[in-house]
Amino acid sequence: MIPGIARAASHPSAPAFSAKNKLASKKTKKLSRYAPVELYQINTKETLMLRFQDDRGRPVKTWKKHFDKFMRCHQTGTVFKMDLRLAHMLYQTARHYEGRRLEVVSGYRHPKVARNPRSPHKKGLACDFRVPGVPNAVLRDWLRKNFDHAGVGYYPNSVFVHLDNRKTGPSAFWIDYAGPGQSASYAENPREDLRTGQAERTRVREAALAGRAEGEDDMAQAGEASAAAQPAVKGGQPNSSNKRPLEVKAPPDPFGD
């Protein structure tokens, strides 16, 4: 008996087993270290594949220019120099939720449409966003756990979570219970509200949340009334959406959205 043939006959399934393992390894292969992440702007309907290095680890020199344009004020079209660390925080978040895109509601806000005079959105330091398939409460907790010197805002009656870079300052956390088009209603003790479950019990009707337009929460925070709350003008016609948004003054608060 020829040794080589005998070995093959005693292990007829060996080649198939090897091929199966090879196929499994391909399926479980993770994204490369420098793989891009997908950001989607719900107001402009634009997509940005964000990355800082190419597949060989070489710097992508144009990423900042594209990021600044993508995060522009969607109400005025103004492009602003966004914070570098904010971009990296968003990238890290997207990498954590591999296979899911980050849906941006608001990045930079021009002072003419920023409701809060202390808003970090006016300085290119903040982003309101969500991750499809991930509850905002889960996203909120992950952001608070993984980023120091950051501001995290939670809106139980809204569709996004706020994240901003506090640079070297202390981290901040707040809960705003306001619904669409309403004035801010901040929790007196947000950490206690999380502990007791009050943050999840104080919610508006789910039907109201499901029925509002994408980005309407951001428009309300930026100083524009919701579509249902817009005042009528002569002739019974609503205000034109093409009119230039008015600046709405708001009292200073310690949170900064």
Closest CA to 201 of 162, 172, 175, 180: 175
Quick check: 74 and 44 in contact, CB under 8 A? yes
Among 116, 222, 243, residue whose Cα is nearest residue 160? 222
Tens digits of per-residue pLDDT, 101-121?
999 999 999 999 998 889 999
Residues forming a β-bridge with 163 = 127, 152
* pLDDT tens string 189-224: 999 999 999 998 887 554 344 434 334 444 344 333
Residue 253 predicted with pLDDT over 80: no
Structure tokens at 179: 């619904």
Residue-wise pLDDT for 39-54, tens only, equals 999 999 999 999 999 9
DSSP assignment, residue 32? P
Instruction: Give me Rg for the CA atoms of the chain.
Output: 24
Please count the other Cβ atoms lying within 10 Å of the Cβ belonging to residue 216.
20
Residue-wise pLDDT tens digits, 66-97: 999 999 999 999 999 999 999 999 999 999 99
Task: Answer whether 101's CB lies under 8 Å from 39's CB.
Answer: yes
